[in-house]
Structure 1
Amino acid sequence: MSASSHELDLLHPTLAHHIVNTLGWPGLRPLQREALAPLADGEDAVLLAPTAGGKTEAAVFPLLSAMAGGWGPGVSLVYVCPIKALLNNLLPRLQAYAGWMGRSVGLWHGDVTASARQRLLRERPDVLLTTPESLEAMLVSTKVDHYEMFGRVRAVVVDEVHAFAGDDRGWHLLAVLERLTRIRGGAIQRVGLSATVGNPAELLTWLQGSSAGEAPARVVAPEAQPAKPAAAEPPPGDVELDYVGSLDNAAKVIAALHAGEKRLVFCDSRQVVERLGAGLRARGVTTFLSHASLSADERRRAEDAFTQARDCVIVATSTLELGIDVGDLDRVIQIDAPGSVASFLQRIGRTGRRGGTNRNCLFLALNDTGLLKAAGLLHLWGRHWVEAVTPTPEPRHIVAQQLLALCLQEFEVGERLWPEWWPGLDPFGHGEPIAAHLLAEGFVERDGGMLMIGPEAERKFGHRHFMELTSVFTAPPEFVVLHGRTEIGRTNPALLAAREHGTGPRRLLLAGRSWTVAWVDWRRSRCFVEPAENGGGAARWESSGHTGLSFDMARAQRDVLLGTDPRVRLTRRAVAALAEARERHEERVHPDGTVVTRSGDGDLRWWTWAGTKTNLTLRATLNTGVDPVQRPNDRWLRLAEDLDSARWKALREAATDRIALPEVDREALEGLKFNAALPDHLAARTLAARLADVDGARHVLKEPARFIVDPPLR
């Protein structure tokens, strides 16, 4: 298609000229065409398209044209990304686009040097690339005049908006955007970009924050696939499921297949990344690694080398799931399965970007659990099903954090005026008890009706200019691992406290290489290492706090066990392993409801196949009818051994009208960032709401339960 003049009429002539002559584009993509008018008119929007669908240009081109049409100097467009690597990747592309228009682009995040930041403050760019945490840091910094820096912002683009909306970073981002709106003194256009989301209209309403229902808004999704019945064709893509039985076997398969091609292997834990990377290197495969506990330089070296190489593998966690460019990619391989269909769509979308190639993914299941998880996910994917993005409930700790951050930003805030910074933003409508607690506990002080930072906030969060206050996540303590002066990454200190097998030198596995621990600086949380000649070593990190499978993912596994095959290619090994799993679980699944069984050791188990959150909610609701100390899981609940049929019936009938939230112990609250700034009961209620699935529990309680119990319930 040639570039017709009418589709470029809404763009500035200079920009239109470069699209045709510099980029050599024959025309705009459907999303880019349909986004022109609403974004040029200042509408809020969510732009949806598959990975590599041109979303960045769809947002930036009309906004750069608007900028040229009268936006003043200084930061007028803020482009927010969830990860720093994505910002680094976008920088040269956006610098080129803005440069055509005589505009500048600046970058600010945690890895940007102090000198570069000083230069940016002196010569404020027109477009600022940053993260929400770095935006917050700029707002509370005494070195940044935030009214001068952000007083002219006209639009904000939120890349990978779904990655924010599903956790606390989303509420933090919305709260910061409300503060930017007040600093500017007028509305700021909000544009979200996403490749995978099941409820785009709700996502757009969430992104609008306090302006929802007032500012004009629309979802732009010309290439999005509508929901289809189960009988429809599965989504495009060459997908295969294999069962390999172990990580060592996975390394053998990866080493043997696709020689000469560039392969990206996803694992859902850092330990698996390290072990698989070491196994591939031991088999002579050129291998690179990427995960969050590797140093930024180590990840960058690996990603740059991978981009330039051909016959190689990069093994990664979700750090490479988002749109970072790793060059022409031939294959995606998935160990077991990611936690969501949306995540899988991001990963398979890394392939098929070159003409004449198809999207593809090979799943390698390591065990029965991984096989069922992969098969269930692919069953949902084959039905064109994608999760709805749901904001985390009751983010009271973010309200506390924002109140403290506002006191740092403004130095003093009117005791009755602080709600005006977040007008209509849901969590802040009930913030008075939190403000009262902050005042009572000394986190803030009152002077003449004004609130300011208090001594308890200084003590809890004041280290390094309140850096802890700008980060929404709680990361477990880790030690920096150094070879000479080069940082390799970080590791769990528990791994340094015990020797491998009780004797000999301590060895670590990090960046896919083995290291001997030379000495540990416990006071400064540093570990110095040397390369280990004979391999070996262990990798360990604390859990990321994953809360298990959702109701839909667990029920998809039940469908598979009942005989539904995912609509992908299955290897003979996968077919045989699924047959064995179905036989093993034959008495634990029922198409019309749940199943109660008695195992050989006497355990009475209720097979709900309802997901961890639902089972936690059922455990709290049924109370004395279940074992109170069992570990939560996705598939079943252990019932009380003395349960009889009359009590079981009474418990279920009573529970239908009284769903209880899971109980939360004090230790669990430590994982909630800023919990110290909340009253204990509010912190516990916040965490309980996040561990619950009330709708799932109600659904299960209404289903019939089939009993396969010997002896039967009395």
Structure 2
Amino acid sequence: MTDGSDDLHPTLAHHIVNTLGWRSMRPLQSAAVRPLVTGDDALLLAPTAGGKTEAACFPLLSAMERHRWTGLSVVYVCPLKALLNNLLPRLESYASWLGRRAALWHGDTTSSARRGILREPPDILLTTPESLEAMLVSANVDHKRVFADLRAVVVDEVHAFAGDDRGWHLLAVLERLTRIAGRPVQRVGLSATVGNPHDLLTWLQGSGRGSRPAQVVAPEADSPPTAPASVDIEVDYVGSVSNAATIIATLHQGRKRLVFCDSRQLVEELGAALRSRGVTTFLSHASLSADERHRAEQAFAEARDCVIVSTSTLELGIDVGDLDRVIQINTPRSVASFLQRLGRTGRRPGTTRNCLFLAIRRDEVVWTSALLLLWSRGYVEPVTAPPEPRHIVAQQLLALCLQENRIGARLWDREWNGLTPFDRSAEPVLGHLTDNGFLDRDGELLFIGPTAEQRFGRRHFMDMTAVFTAPPQFTVFHGRREIGRTDPALLTEKVEGPRLLLLAGRSWQVGWIDWKRRRCFVEEADRGGKARWHTSGIGGASFDLTRAAREVLLGERPPVTLTRRAERALADEREDAGSRVYPGGTVITSDGVDTRWWTWAGYRANATLAATLSDLLDERQRVDDASIRLRNDLSREMWRVATTGASGRLVLPEVDEQALTGLKFGEALPTRLAVATLATRIADVQGATRTLAEPVRHHVRPR
């Protein structure tokens, strides 16, 4: 090969040609060799199935040989256990070409396998951030011996981490690993297309930003394979889950179809509807058991005429074989998510990337068109870390005490190498932990206190290794086989006749419930099951997506195919929108009963505006993406007085006390700091400021 492979180890290059049968490497793989072999931090960007794993691993294996690394020298981090399981055979094979070993450590790894890893660490360890944390705090792991030889960390799907608290947790753990290794650790991120790649790389570098060489490697960025002219996109309006199932059952028979839904309930309902129509159907979502998901994914990978219905669990790089069609029910949460899903198709020579959108609600035609309008303009959302992660700071201080048994009351911040917010700015959090018994103090030493033992000490503090809160669920068994988990509300609500659940696309009749152990035992039923899960988190569309929806209502349309049904639905939505949209600014409508400010600014901006203009709100206020409900006696003078200068005194949204329960480790913070953390996260100050600067048209309709 003459495409950059000269810097690869000769044995590795030999196997790439003779074992893999490659005549050349892909542009990303060639471009990544030199910077990674020489030790640069890097962000490797390519679409789904773009060869990112090999682009990272081939140079690092070459560096391993060139510099004679020994022991555990590379940690490969993924957001999902299923993705790690999928990658392991490939990395084991690549490592074996050089006489090296790769191994897997996550929540499902057996005790015997873990003992083998600790006894003889592999050269490459595939794991999750939560498992890394568990290793660091475990009394059974000599972390200083295991990680002493660490040289590089690969973070797969880095954008999936950076956008939420798992990213802050990952950065903090990497800083602690750097301290243990006693040297700078090379950081390599793998990502699909993002709107701000240089910012994402800077974020990934952590405390090393500005002090280590770093570059974004994206040779195909200037010619994206998903340009509108090169893909097959169609939007249809179907009106119900039943109609969606009928269309999916009828279209593309004999083909392999992957259907994405953005809720577990919708996955279950559509899966059951497809099976009732005789379609070979598999399901995948987070509340199905690992065995159930694995069986479904394996069967789907080996079958041809079938459908798999999934939440975002199959959005990331898990291999389910060659796909013919991707179908999206309603609108995905972002352009980036759409690109990930679209990238599942068109991998075989002579095939085209494609996606069929099926809108169940009429307004979803507008939102889908808005998302596709942004995509057609080359827009991809920037990935930004959630602001002010004080609860993660609290978790890290407690985890460090578990890791080291005792930490210095004046030296603790060194463990994160000065990375904000794990630096001296965390003093108020540390003070609260010591004042409230989470930490005890003996002179200049801090250690785990009785409150932390009581709150987080179950199962050897394993609850402290994950930074997200999972709502309580009951595990459902059919005989000895675990099917998945269901919301306890379905087991407690009043029902007439037998209690029926819908799980794994099948109906089940509840037989016996073990309330103490949170277990539910079921038998098969013909039909009639219900599916429901409690969802938490901050919902709502972004400022940019909501503004694109306004553009669509005003006449813009994406360069994709809309069926006649979708065209009619869009025309009806535009007619109904009428006075609610105004190209030059925002609109206040009033009919004497309902007064609304149509901002089209997205949920977070509207929440910020509602908090700032609270005196103008209707007492039944509920913020949505497009509008804010105002008091019916609003006058133009009242509006002018309230909004003059409002952009200079914006107020963060109020936080419901119940929302604090979803902030894991929030109880280890002073209430005011926990509230401030959540308030900052549900605000969009920039969007609110832009909205206030726009002219307002008042439209009063006679009653």
Q: TM-score, normalised by structure 1?
A: 0.97
1:77 aligns with 2:74: yes
Aligned pair partner of 2:434 in 421, 432, 439:
439
Residues 635-644 or 703-712, more deviating = 703-712
- Are 2:688 and 1:697 equivalent residues in the alignment? yes
Quote the Cα distance in structure 2 between the aligned partners of 1:623 and 1:225: 46
Amino acid at match of 1:30: P
Equivalent position amino acid for 1:591 in 2: P
Match of 1:604 in 2: 595
CA deviation after TM superposition for structure 1 residue 227, in Å: 9.7
What residue number does 1:511 align with? Answer: 504
Q: Is the 8 A contact 1:227 1:385 kept in 2?
A: no
**Structure 2 counterpart of 1:607, one-letter code:** W
Contact 2:147–2:177 (CA under 8 A) maintained in structure 1: yes
Give the AA of the match of 2:121.
Answer: R
Q: Which residue of 2 aligns with 1:158?
A: 155
**1:382–1:567 CA contact under 8 A, matched in 2:** yes
Separation of aligned partners in 1, 2:419 and 2:157: 21
Q: Residue 361 of structure 2 is aligned with which of 359, 367, 371?
A: 367
Counterparts of 2:36 and 2:246 in 1: how far apart (Å)? 50
1:542 Cα offset (Å): 0.6
> 626, 647, 657: which one pairs with 2:648?
657
Measure, in 1, the Cα distance between the counterparts of 2:451 and 2:273: 49
Alpha carbons of structure 1 residues 590 and 235: separation in structure 2 relative to 1, 3 Å: same
Q: CA deviation at 1:644?
A: 1.2
Q: CA deviation at 1:122?
A: 1.3
Q: How far did 1:633 drift?
A: 0.9
Would the alpha carbon gap of residues 649 and 83 (structure 1) be closer, same or farther in structure 2, given more than 3 Å must change?
A: same
Q: Distance in 2 between matches of 1:154 and 1:204?
A: 18
Match of 2:352 among 344, 351, 358: 358
- Report the counterpart of residue 200 of structure 2 in structure 1: 203
Aligned equivalents of 1:170, 1:488: Cα separation in 2: 30
1:529 partner amino acid: V
Give distance in 1, aligned partners of 2:650 and 2:231. 42
Cα distance in 2 for residues equivalent to 1:216 and 1:369: 48
Partner deviation per Cα, 1:594-615 (whole Å, 9 max, x = no partner): 111114x611000011100000
User: 1:198 is paired with a residue of what secondary structure?
Assistant: coil
Whether contact under 8 Å (1:234, 1:383) holds in the other structure is no
The 5 A counterparts of 1:599-638 are 599=591, 602-627=593-618, 629-638=620-629
Aligned counterpart, 1:56: 53
Structure 1 gap ranges (5+): none
Decide whether the 8 Å contact of 2:623 with 2:629 is kept in 1: no
Matches within 5 A, 1:174-253: 174-225=171-222, 234=228, 236-253=230-247
Instruction: Mark the CA change 1:334 to 1:223 in structure 2 (over 3 Å): closer, same or farther.
Output: same
Deviation at 1:579, TM superposition (A): 0.4
**For each residue in 1:375-423, what CA deviation from the matched residue of structure 2 results, as whole angstroms up to 9, or x when unmatched?**
1111111111100001100000000000000000000000011100113
Q: 1:522-581 deviations in whole A, cap 9, x for unaligned?
A: 11100000001x211100101142421000010111010000111111111111110000
C-alpha distance in 2 between matches for 1:582 and 1:616: 25
**Using the alignment, how far apart are the partners of 1:544 and 1:414 within structure 2?**
37
The answer as to 2:663 corresponding to 1:672 is yes
Amino acid across the alignment from 1:67: M
Query: 1:50, 1:669 → 2: CA distance?
Result: 37
CA offsets per residue over residues 647-676 of structure 1, 9 Å max, x none? 101111131211111011221111100001
1:120 lines up with 2:113 in the alignment: no
Q: CA distance change for structure 1 residues 133 and 235 in 2, over 3 Å: closer, same or farther?
A: farther
What is the CA deviation profile of residues 265-285 of structure 1, one whole-angstrom value per residue up to 9, with x for unaligned ones? Answer: 000000000000000000000
Match of 1:646 among 610, 613, 637: 637
How far is 1:618 from its partner?
A: 0.3
SS of residue paired to 1:403 = helix
2:363–2:573 Cα contact (<8 Å) kept: no
Between the aligned partners of 1:127 and 1:336, the Cα distance in structure 2 is: 40
One-letter amino acid of the structure 1 residue matched with residue 465 of structure 2: T
User: Are 2:277 and 1:283 aligned?
Assistant: yes
1:30-60 CA deviation, whole Å, 9 max, x = no partner? 1111111111110000000111111111111
* Cα distance, 1:226 vs structure 2: 7.1
Alignment CA distance shift 1:225-1:366 (3 Å): farther
Residues 233, 456 of structure 1: alpha-carbon distance in 2 compared, 3 angstrom cutoff: closer
CA deviation after TM superposition for structure 1 residue 625, in Å: 1.0
Q: CA 1:508 to 1:233, structure 2 compared with 1: closer, same or farther past 3 Å?
A: closer
Structure 1 position 225, deviation (Å): 3.5
CA displacement at 1:121 relative to structure 2: 1.2
Which deviations, in whole Å up to 9, do the C-alpha atoms of 1:469-524 show, x marking residues without a partner? 0011001100000111111000000100124xx31110000000000000111111
Q: Distance in 2 between matches of 1:270 and 1:342?
A: 20
Sequence identity percentage? 65
1:579 corresponds to = 571
Partner of 2:292: 298
Equivalent in the alignment of 1:313: 307
Classify the secondary structure of the residue corresponding to 2:4.
Answer: helix
CA contact (8 A) 1:235 1:384 kept: no
Q: What SS is found at the alignment partner of 1:268?
A: coil
Q: Is the 8 A contact 2:622 2:628 kept in 1?
A: no
Query: What is the alpha-carbon distance in structure 2 between the residues aligned to residue 333 and residue 698 of structure 1?
Result: 37
How big is the alpha-carbon RMSD for the aligned residues of Structure 1 and Structure 2?
1.4
Conserved 8 A contact 1:619-1:628? no
Amino acid at match of 1:317: T
1:531 and 2:528 are equivalent in the alignment: no
The total of aligned residue pairs comes to: 702
Label 1:445 to 1:629 Cα distance change in 2 as closer, same or farther (>3 A): farther
Offset at residue 95 of structure 1 (A): 0.4
CA-CA distance at 1:628 after TM superposition:
5.0
Q: What displacement does 1:629 show?
A: 4.5
How far apart, CA to CA, are the structure 2 residues paired with 1:70 and 1:485?
51
**CA-CA distance at 1:136 after TM superposition:** 0.3
Structure 1 match to 2:401: 407
The residue type paired with residue 537 of structure 1 is: G
1:344 is matched with 338
For 2:492, the equivalent position in structure 1 comes to 497
Q: Which residue of 2 aligns with 1:563?
A: 555
Q: TM-score, normalised by structure 2?
A: 0.98
Within the candidate set 383, 392, 398, 1:398 is matched to: 392
Structure-2 separation of matches of 1:422 and 1:311: 52
Q: 4+ residue stretches of structure 1 with deviation over 4 A?
A: none
Q: Cα distance, 1:425 vs. partner?
A: 1.4
What residue in structure 2 maps to residue 452 of structure 1?
A: 447
Could you tell me whether the CA contact under 8 Å between 2:536 and 2:662 is conserved in 1?
no
The answer (yes or no) to whether the contact 1:407–1:452 under 8 Å persists in 2 is yes
Pick closer, same or farther for the CA change 1:257–1:140 going to 2, 3 Å: same
Instruction: Give the superposition deviation at 1:642.
Output: 2.0
Q: 1:643, CA displacement in angstroms?
A: 1.6
Q: Secondary structure at the match of 2:174?
A: helix
Q: Kindly provide the amino acid, as one letter, of the partner of residue 600 in structure 2.
A: W
